[in-house]
Structure 1
Amino acid sequence: MRVLIDILTPKQCRFFSALSKKLERRGFEVFKTARRFREVVELLGILGEEAYIVGRYGGATLEGKLDASLERMLELKKVFHRLKPDLVVSFSSPEASRIAFGLGTPHIAVNDSPHSEAVARLTIPLSRILFTPWIIPKAAWTRYGIAPSRIIKYRALDPAAWLKEFKPDPRVLTELGLDTGRPIAVFRLEESHASYILGMGGLVEEVAKKALERFDLQLVIMPRYDEQVNRVEKVFGDKALVLRKTVDAASLLYFASILVGGGGTMNIEAALLGVPVVSCYPGQTTYVERYLVEKGFIRRASNPDEALAHMEKLLEPGEKARFENAAKKTLRAMVNPAEFIAEKLGTIFS
């Protein structure tokens, strides 16, 4: 059976890299497509994954997103005709789900983000099956038009797909010139172009400025977009390491003392690695974040002073070791979602 996997974000690079390997071991022939987006293309290279680059990222405006999506659908249809997949898998890709539906090919959605309403409305009704973490109620999805019987839950958070078999690479520290003798604080900027938080954000950058004045830290700032890179380089100069290129973020997080994150996936990833997290996510608390807050892995902050107070506590000696022990137990109790999905697809579509 030929499977086409469509990849849109860095998180999906890692998740679907793991899933494709599990599918290939079960005899599936796997092809991948991705869109032209800096972090996606660079991370695919780091992971050694090959993909057809189809279309581009639409940017920060609704019209730009619409134009890019329409263009990409036409390009993706040509790839479909060439590859003739029997099955399409995506993390609710509007283009992949629409083309699959239009050509009568089953679309399988993987999604942990019912808060991304625009994407869910465009993709969930067109999906044959939805795979989602167990902590998200089916009612969060059925409102988008999918029957409860077509929702399959896995007992894991998505980063478990690559963290269950993860081995950190210390070379990332050498490559970035970081000193293991001083605390490393990673700041991940907000996904300010996403449809569900358009125009929001900025808190992570403010916290980073104040953290420089208050703590003795090695600051690593991870922007998402080129304009973020250019802006923070001007603001911080040589006082912080601003990552212009994509790195092995999982290994960097593993060696970090703390993450101040403005998004979702990296906050979850850090939490499951045992790294204390201060979340500056500008939207409403998601199901996944609420779970991690209740477990004590994440502290929420809505202003710089609140974030700095959390940082001061979390940077105390012994805190990271405590987080690591708790995270190991939590991760161990989760299934590997890539293995789970591959097994289910093998059973359903064999």
Structure 2
Amino acid sequence: MTDTWDRTADGVDLEQAPPKTIVLTVQHPAHVHFFRHVHERLVDAGHDVSVFARRVPIITALLDRYDIPHETLVTPREHRGGQAVMQARYEWRLLQRARELDPDVIAAIGGVAAAHVASVVGARSVVFTDTEHATLSNRLAFPFADTICTPSCYRDDIGSKQFEYDGYHELSYLHPSRFTADPSVLARLDLAPDDGYVVLRSVDWAAAHDAGEGGFDDVADVVERLEATGVEVLVSAEGALPRALAEHRVDIAPHRMHDLLYYADCVIGEGATMAIESAVLGTPAVYVNSLETGVTDELAEEYGLLFCCHGPDRQLEAIDRAVEILEREDDVDWERRRVELLTEKEDTLSVVLDRLGVTA
């Protein structure tokens, strides 16, 4: 795939913004990516930025990789029954630290803790969300949040607090003005530049909004069907895999995953984030999940970079779609579709900085 995008500065001038004290909280690997460049720009402009997180290996590994100083507040419990207690402990410790820091702004994706703590310490809270079906966290966060930022394709009307922007979370870190794929990832996995491969993503369904939902019926069957087309299948799995699929698990540092997605022939999986990431990188994605979102629907309907399989026969539909993509790869100009998307969408980094109130 050739990156034809014209790389220009993102146009956000922070030099004239008075210094602020800003707190960012991250509770998922994607949140680290989302705030990575935000943190860099804020620090470079002289703002006092504190980052707080849960002690999750992949989260702390990414924060360390990107040289983001941070403080971990809790270590997640192994069992789901401890989530409420863990959330309460996280909020309590965040509150203690926020009282010491006296921040102007607290920002987060999802933003339950951010909204609650900000309302107590007198800070302004800025919450970013693109997940309509995260109903529990939305109910807990929205009443306390000052600003709720959503993509314009977000389906729900949140009211006067809602700020809509014409972009996606993933463009905060995968916009071509900041992201350039590194082909050395292929050699790291013993892949030649001409080798065909598919990335398959399976999730553990542990999130509260995933309860009662589903994706693949049989991952092994998906791998077998796709391998029959002559491609290699690399599996990125949150949970355990059947022993027969162990050799397919991709062994790669977390910060290299976007390079892998960029060079893939296709991505098929249960996770919305990875499907969206692939689409904005110009790699066709097949999203296999009973849950629907405004972002995935728009990427499917407006740009043809993502294909949604939601119904009871979603696995069979997904396999057929992935096989069709692989067989027609030379007939579709995926890069043209990506350029169309990038031309029409806002650079989300600029949106985030503006909502934090740090632009000139």
TM range (shorter): 0.7 to 0.9
* Unaligned ranges ≥5, structure 2: 1-19
Residues 48 and 177 of structure 1, relative CA distance in 2, 3 Å threshold: farther
Alignment correspondent of 1:157: 168
Alignment correspondent of 1:167: 180
Alpha-carbon offset, residue 211 of structure 1: 2.8
- Whichever structure has more helix as a proportion of its residues is 1
Residues 2 and 313 of structure 1, relative CA distance in 2, 3 Å threshold: same
Say if 1:92 and 1:124, in contact at 8 Å, map to a contact too: no
Say if 1:43 and 1:246, in contact at 8 Å, map to a contact too: yes
- Mapped to 2, the partners of 1:37 and 1:58 lie a distance apart of 10
- Mapped to 2, the partners of 1:333 and 1:192 lie a distance apart of 33
Question: Aligned pair count?
Answer: 334
Alignment correspondent of 2:48: 29
Q: Structure 1 residue aligned with 2:207, among 194, 197, 200?
A: 194
- Mapped to 2, the partners of 1:68 and 1:127 lie a distance apart of 21
The answer to whether the aligner puts 1:2 opposite 2:21 as a matched pair is yes
Q: Structure 2 residue aligned with 1:219, among 207, 215, 233?
A: 233
Say if 1:207 and 1:307, in contact at 8 Å, map to a contact too: no
Deviations 1:77-124 (A, max 9, x none): 232233332210011232232222222222111111122100101111
Q: What percent of counterpart residues are identical?
A: 22
Query: The residue matched to 1:99 in structure 2 has which SS?
Result: helix
Alignment correspondent of 2:16: none
- Between 207-216 and 9-18, report the one with greater CA deviation: 207-216
Give the aligned residue type for 2:236.
M
Query: The residue matched to 1:90 in structure 2 has which SS?
Result: strand
- Mapped to 2, the partners of 1:111 and 1:158 lie a distance apart of 8
Say if 1:172 and 1:251, in contact at 8 Å, map to a contact too: yes
- Mapped to 2, the partners of 1:331 and 1:290 lie a distance apart of 17
Say if 1:131 and 1:153, in contact at 8 Å, map to a contact too: yes
Alignment correspondent of 1:290: 297
Alignment correspondent of 2:11: none
Residues 194 and 59 of structure 1, relative CA distance in 2, 3 Å threshold: farther
Q: TM-score scaled to structure 2, two decimals?
A: 0.85
Deviations 1:164-221 (A, max 9, x none): 2211112222223333222111011125111111254350724533335522222211
Q: Structure 2 residue aligned with 1:110, among 111, 120, 128?
A: 128
Alignment correspondent of 1:176: 189
Query: The residue matched to 1:249 in structure 2 has which SS?
Result: helix
- Mapped to 2, the partners of 1:308 and 1:97 lie a distance apart of 41
The answer to whether the aligner puts 1:325 opposite 2:344 as a matched pair is no
Q: Structure 2 residue aligned with 1:232, among 241, 253, 264?
A: 241
Q: Structure 1 residue aligned with 2:33, among 14, 17, 36?
A: 14
Query: The residue matched to 2:74 in structure 1 has which SS?
Result: strand
Query: The residue matched to 2:25 in structure 1 has which SS?
Result: strand
Residues 344 and 20 of structure 1, relative CA distance in 2, 3 Å threshold: same
Alpha-carbon offset, residue 245 of structure 1: 5.2
Alpha-carbon offset, residue 304 of structure 1: 2.7
* Unaligned ranges ≥5, structure 1: none
Alpha-carbon offset, residue 49 of structure 1: 2.2
Alignment correspondent of 2:88: 70
The answer to whether the aligner puts 1:98 opposite 2:116 as a matched pair is yes
Query: The residue matched to 2:143 in structure 1 has which SS?
Result: helix
Give the aligned residue type for 2:279.
A
- Between 118-127 and 88-97, report the one with greater CA deviation: 88-97
Query: The residue matched to 1:125 in structure 2 has which SS?
Result: coil
Give the aligned residue type for 2:203.
E
Deviations 1:214-240 (A, max 9, x none): 22222211122xxx1xx31623132x1
Query: The residue matched to 1:31 in structure 2 has which SS?
Result: strand
Alignment correspondent of 1:276: 284
Query: The residue matched to 2:271 in structure 1 has which SS?
Result: coil
- Mapped to 2, the partners of 1:184 and 1:157 lie a distance apart of 26
Give the aligned residue type for 2:315.
P
Alignment correspondent of 2:223: 209
Alpha-carbon offset, residue 260 of structure 1: 0.5
Give the aligned residue type for 2:335.
E
Residues 327 and 124 of structure 1, relative CA distance in 2, 3 Å threshold: same
Alignment correspondent of 2:321: 310
- Mapped to 2, the partners of 1:163 and 1:18 lie a distance apart of 10
Q: Structure 2 residue aligned with 1:267, among 275, 280, 284?
A: 275
